[in-house]
């Protein structure tokens, strides 16, 4: 790669006005994108909030991470088309098979199948021809299935030693750009956030990722037991820093964006998605 990766801020939509304020500030800062995760009924409606953010911004692209079960693809296509009308074509959607924890809160017993994902991509594209579509995945079967359907593949939970080769394979398999969700820590609180995030990755981590990341069977057993007993934050405390550093960035808050861009460039990815606290360490 000869260019610097674009930077995206990931904001949880618990408060609509908060998200709109963050979008306005991120637009002023020159960040490339803002994305909201779809937590179903647990948060404000992301599409509505993004529509409000579109009116008060001029350049930043605005998107949402969702799945074919939380929201029907026909509904996603209509919502994305509406957002594009309001924003002048700055909307995008990130589709995945869905997280088990999020779907369980909605009474959905299991994530979508790969076939559901590919059908959703085709449906959204058919109904909104100019849609910008991402896929969040890291499994080879899904990567093969979405070839030619996604503009960008969003990776997460991949240990750093495996990322350069995986990024090359993603491009050759799908023809898509490669983005990376990158968590980091710089103080005890952000360390807890990063540990919690890795706990969720460990629940369905591929064996080759676990091996390269130092997540051995005994650690996985301990983490999953703590997750069931005490929740993800306490489970995350069991993950050694040496393991966390194979997945996430350990760097000071000052200059963290530059540090993340430097790391992503070395790993060969086109875009990085960073949590809100990266840009607002003091809340």
74-95 per-position pLDDT tens digit: 999 999 999 999 999 999 999 9
What is the reported pLDDT for 2?
Answer: 43
In the chain, what percentage of residues exceed pLDDT 70? 93
SS3 (DSSP) at 265: helix
Q: Please tell me the predicted confidence (pLDDT) of residue 39.
A: 79
CB count, 10 Å around CB of 254? 10
Asked if residues 127 and 81 have their Cβ atoms less than 8 Å apart, the reply is yes
CB atoms within 10 A of CB 74: 13
Residue, of 108 and 191, whose pLDDT is higher? 191
Q: What is the mean pLDDT of residues 156-184?
A: 93
Q: Which of 259, 262, 237 is nearest to 250 (CA)?
A: 259
Average pLDDT over residues 198-219: 95
**pLDDT band per the 50, 70, 90 thresholds, residue 70:** confident
Answer whether 153's CB lies under 8 Å from 177's CB.
yes
Any idea which of 33-42, 141-150, 162-171, 190-199 has the lowest mean pLDDT?
A: 33-42
| Reported confidence tier of residue 102, pLDDT bands at 50, 70, 90 | low
pLDDT score at 81: 97
Please report the pLDDT score of residue 13 as a whole number: 92
**Percentage of the chain modeled with pLDDT above 90:** 76
Q: What pTM did the predictor assign?
A: 0.92
Kindly report, residue by residue over 177-203, the tens digit of the pLDDT: 999 999 989 999 999 999 999 999 999
- Which of 52-61, 63-72, 107-116, 195-204 is the least confident region? 107-116
Evaluate whether 177 touches 146 at the Cβ level (below 8 Å): no
pLDDT at 206: 92
pLDDT, averaged across the chain = 91
* Tokens 């960008």 sit on residue: 152
Is the predicted pLDDT of residue 103 greater than 70, yes or no?
no
CB 78 within 8 Å of CB 50: no
Range from 126-130, 172-176, 187-191 that averages highest in pLDDT: 126-130
* pLDDT score at 99: 65
For residue 228, pLDDT over 80 is answered with yes
Query: What does the pLDDT read at residue 88?
Result: 97
pLDDT score of 90:
97
What confidence score (pLDDT) does residue 1 get? 41
Structure tokens at 223: 């983490």
Query: Residue 75: what pLDDT?
Result: 95
Is the pLDDT at 241 greater than 70? The verdict is yes
């Amino acid at each position: 790669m000869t260019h610097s990766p674009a930077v995206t801020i990931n904001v949880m939509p618990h408060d609509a006005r908060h998200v709109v304020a963050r979008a306005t500030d991120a637009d002023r800062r020159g960040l490339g994108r803002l994305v909201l995760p779809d937590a179903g009924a647990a948060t404000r409606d992301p599409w509505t909030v993004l529509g409000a953010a579109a009116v008060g911004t001029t350049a930043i692209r605005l998107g949402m991470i969702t799945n074919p079960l939380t929201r029907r693809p026909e509904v996603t296509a209509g919502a994305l088309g509406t957002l594009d009308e309001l924003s002048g074509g700055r909307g995008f959607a990130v589709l995945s098979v869905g997280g088990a924890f999020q779907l369980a809160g909605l009474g959905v017993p299991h994530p979508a199948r790969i076939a559901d994902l590919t059908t959703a991509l085709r449906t959204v594209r058919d109904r909104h021809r100019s849609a910008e579509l991402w896929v969040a995945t890291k499994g080879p079967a899904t990567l093969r299935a979405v070839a030619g359907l996604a503009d960008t593949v969003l990776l997460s939970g991949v240990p750093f030693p495996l990322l350069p080769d995986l990024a090359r394979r993603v491009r050759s398999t799908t023809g898509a750009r490669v983005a990376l969700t990158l968590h980091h820590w710089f103080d005890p609180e952000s360390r807890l956030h990063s540990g919690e995030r890795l706990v969720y990755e460990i629940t369905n981590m591929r064996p080759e990722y676990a091996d390269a990341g130092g997540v051995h069977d005994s650690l996985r057993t301990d983490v999953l037991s703590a997750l069931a007993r005490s929740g993800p934050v306490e489970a995350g405390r069991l993950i050694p820093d040496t393991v966390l550093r194979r997945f996430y960035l350990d760097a000071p808050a000052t200059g963290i964006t530059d540090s993340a861009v430097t790391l992503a460039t070395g790993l060969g990815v086109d875009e990085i998605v960073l949590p809100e606290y990266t840009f607002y360490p003091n809340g």
